[in-house]
């Protein structure tokens, strides 16, 4: 009898692939490892995917498609560049912070192949960066960002900050809520690292007091 294909089984295979890729590494993993983790026969994998590479590409495409779609949905009805950037940051960190194995695959395994990275950059990453760019453009329109700001540079800088937060979270021996880093990232991105005028006056006053005591 021909084996039937079901969405549930396909999803189970992809979930198993995330675990296997995260634990054994993409290049060290075998299709048989994924089949064992998904509790299916080795041949069943090939009903859904051509090979191991097709599994990783499908996993990436489906996660990113859902990520971008949900991100746009969460932005509906949210006004103001700061609030909208915070929505994006929380969504990004929640997605990967809620599944460490998935984060390892995206932050580590996906980046060990130039071919995968080229696909990532040319495909879904561009769609995701477009969402960020739209928010920055709106911010330039409402005065949140200065008009001469390079939108391309700002977009990549914001994505890069979120990306690095996920990588640091994976490598850290400490356990913490990754989403809690969303607000600090947005605050740093919007206001920079410079002290405010009030803080500068306070620091100068403290320094003057310190000099007077010498």
pLDDT at 111: 85
Query: Each residue of 52-97: pLDDT tens digit?
Result: 999 998 998 888 888 899 999 999 999 999 999 999 999 999 999 9
Confidence of residue 113 (pLDDT cuts 50, 70, 90): confident
Global confidence as pTM:
0.85
Comparing 124 with 132, the larger pLDDT belongs to 132
DSSP notation for 66-134: HHHHHHHHHHTT--SHHHHHHHHHHHHHHHHHT-HHHHHHHHTGGGG-HHHHHHHHHTHHHHHHHHHHH
Comparing 71 with 205, the larger pLDDT belongs to 71
From residue 197, give the alpha-carbon distance in Å to each of 29, 41, 144, 179, 186: 55, 66, 18, 30, 20
Query: Each residue of 178-204: pLDDT tens digit?
Result: 999 999 999 999 999 877 766 666 666
pLDDT at 117: 76
Comparing 125 with 133, the larger pLDDT belongs to 133
pLDDT at 1 over 50: no
Q: Compute the distance between CA of residue 66 and CA of residue 99 in angstroms, rounded to an integer.
A: 15
pLDDT at 206 over 70: no
pLDDT at 212: 63
Domains and CATH numbers, the chain: 1-49 (1.10.10.60), 52-212 (1.10.357.10)
Query: Each residue of 128-167: pLDDT tens digit?
Result: 999 999 999 999 999 999 999 999 999 999 999 999 999 9
């Amino acid at each position: 009898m021909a084996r039937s294909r079901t969405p549930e089984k396909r999803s189970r295979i992809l979930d198993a692939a995330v675990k296997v890729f995260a634990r054994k590494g993409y290049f060290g993993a075998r299709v048989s490892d994924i089949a064992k983790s998904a509790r299916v026969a080795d041949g069943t994998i090939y009903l859904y995917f051509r090979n191991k590479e097709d599994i990783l590409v499908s996993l990436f495409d489906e996660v990113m498609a859902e990520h971008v779609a949900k991100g746009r949905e969460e932005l509906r009805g949210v006004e103001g560049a700061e609030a909208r950037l915070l929505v994006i940051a929380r969504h990004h960190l929640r997605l990967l912070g809620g599944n460490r194995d998935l984060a390892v695959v995206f932050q580590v395994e996906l980046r060990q192949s130039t071919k995968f990275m080229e696909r990532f950059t040319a495909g879904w990453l561009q769609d995701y960066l477009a969402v960020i760019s739209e928010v920055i453009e709106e911010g330039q329109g409402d005065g949140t960002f200065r008009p001469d700001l390079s939108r391309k540079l700002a977009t990549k800088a914001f994505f890069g900050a979120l990306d690095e937060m996920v990588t640091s979270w994976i490598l850290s021996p400490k356990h913490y809520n990754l989403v809690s880093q969303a607000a600090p990232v947005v605050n740093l991105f919007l206001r920079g690292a410079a002290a405010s005028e009030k803080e500068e006056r306070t620091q100068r006053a403290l320094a003057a007091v310190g000099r007077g005591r010498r």
